[in-house]
């Protein structure tokens, strides 16, 4: 209920505007034309005043850039073609006889693709290695070269970053026919 009748009981103030009083609620009464604007009107007024200000005097603070995430690294032994050939000969036998060079290359390419997953899976089960990121196969990058690797640790958490025992590393290197190869920290290749 709003009414626009002048309030005769209100005290008279010198220089005050004598306008009818508009009652908008039980607690607050405003003189007609003096009610505060809406929130939208206030923001429009503020934004228009900001537009007139030069941008060089702005005191607006920028948020600091978030720190980049560290690259995913793994402590691993990268599989080599020489080691895979030796592993294949020991576990699956040599190449079939009577292959010419082109047929041998095709056969060996297929064997390598299979060994990429066979060797890491055998090592995971035989030496009870951790399965990093729930993948049995991890490709690593060393410069421009990418190859599968046997992973011992990674930098994703404290739990997974502990380095293995040297005896375990030596046993894995011997099993994959890469004795003398030491694990290094490699970047995980994006596939």
Per-residue pLDDT reduced to its tens digit, 109-137: 999 999 999 999 999 999 988 777 667 78
Contact, 124 vs 171, CB < 8 A? no
Per-residue pLDDT reduced to its tens digit, 22-59: 555 566 665 665 656 665 555 555 555 555 555 555 56
CA–CA gap between residue 190 and residue 138 (Å, rounded): 10
For Cα atoms 146, 175, 75, give the angle at the middle one, nearest 5 degrees: 45
Domain map of the chain by residue range? Answer: 73-188
Closest CA to 74 of 18, 115, 135: 135
pTM above 0.95, yes or no: no
Residue with tokens 């095709």: 106
């Amino acid at each position: 209920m709003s009414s626009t009748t002048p309030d005769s009981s209100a005290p008279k103030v010198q220089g005050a505007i004598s306008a009818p009083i508009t009652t908008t609620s039980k607690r607050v009464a405003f003189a007609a034309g003096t009610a505060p604007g809406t929130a939208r009107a206030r923001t429009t007024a503020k934004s228009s005043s900001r537009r007139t200000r030069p941008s060089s005097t702005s005191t607006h603070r920028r948020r600091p850039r978030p720190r980049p995430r560290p690259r995913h690294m793994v402590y691993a032994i990268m599989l080599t073609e020489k080691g895979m050939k030796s592993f294949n000969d020991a576990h699956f036998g040599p190449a079939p006889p009577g292959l010419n060079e082109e047929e041998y290359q095709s056969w060996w390419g297929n064997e390598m693709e299979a060994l990429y997953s066979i060797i890491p899976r055998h090592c995971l089960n035989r030496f009870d290695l951790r399965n990093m990121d729930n993948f049995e196969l991890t490709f690593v990058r060393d410069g421009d070269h990418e190859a599968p690797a046997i992973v011992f640790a990674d930098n994703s958490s404290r739990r997974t970053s502990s380095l293995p025992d040297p005896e375990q590393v030596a046993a894995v290197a011997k099993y994959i026919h890469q004795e003398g190869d030491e694990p290094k920290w490699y970047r995980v290749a994006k596939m």
